[in-house]
């Protein structure tokens, strides 16, 4: 099962999917069993989902009559969430790798960020979930006055725009 096989409808996003149980027992002739590294599932298609769901998926026996595969199915759990946008405010800007003989202060010292992601993931965000950083040693140029800041968001969260755009 690939991610493309579990596409939600527009306005929703696939957060993750996993199988309950990560292994199966295959019984059969040792010479053949030793060559098996994966067991496939029957083809499934879950397109147009708007909520989290679970589904029992049958495993495919690689050589029926030769092998016995147990269990014969696995539970697939898929987390689908509504796609939302929100603002995260008061994110402190950290200046990294400043030479010891300098004192550098970001002005402004905090920024706001417009983010997008699954509804539950976005609801759990706060300023401590996001990092805003400026790498001084690599990026400072004496003739420049404004700089973009590197934004690091949690997995499955995208940032759309920062306010201000530069410091």
| pLDDT for the residue 1 | 45
Burial (CB count within 10 angstroms: exposed 0-12, middle 13-18, buried 19+), residue 5: middle
pLDDT in tens, 84-111: 999 999 999 999 999 999 999 999 999 9
pLDDT in tens, 4-39: 455 778 899 989 988 887 788 889 998 888 888 888
User: Both tokens of residue 156?
Assistant: 């499955």
Run of H or E including 85: strand 73-96
| pLDDT for the residue 3 | 46
Contact in structure between 159 and 112 (CB atoms under 8 Å): no
Query: Rounded distance, CA 110 to CA 7, Å?
Result: 37
pLDDT in tens, 112-155: 999 999 999 999 999 999 999 999 999 999 899 899 999 999 99
């Amino acid at each position: 099962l690939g991610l493309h096989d579990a596409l939600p409808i527009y306005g929703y996003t696939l957060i993750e999917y996993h199988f309950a149980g990560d292994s199966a027992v295959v019984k059969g002739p040792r010479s053949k069993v030793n060559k098996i590294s994966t067991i496939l599932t029957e083809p499934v298609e879950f397109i147009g989902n708007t909520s989290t769901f679970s589904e029992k998926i049958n495993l495919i026996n690689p050589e029926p009559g030769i092998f016995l595969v147990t269990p014969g199915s696995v539970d697939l759990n898929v987390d689908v969430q509504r796609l939302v946008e929100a603002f995260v405010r008061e994110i402190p800007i950290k200046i990294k790798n400043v030479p010891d003989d300098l004192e550098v202060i970001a002005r402004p010292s905090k920024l706001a960020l417009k983010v997008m992601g699954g509804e539950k993931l976005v609801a759990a965000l706060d300023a401590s979930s996001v990092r805003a950083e400026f790498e001084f040693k690599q990026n400072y140029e004496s003739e420049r006055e404004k700089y973009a800041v590197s934004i690091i968001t949690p997995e499955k969260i995208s940032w759309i725009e920062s306010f201000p755009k530069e410091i």
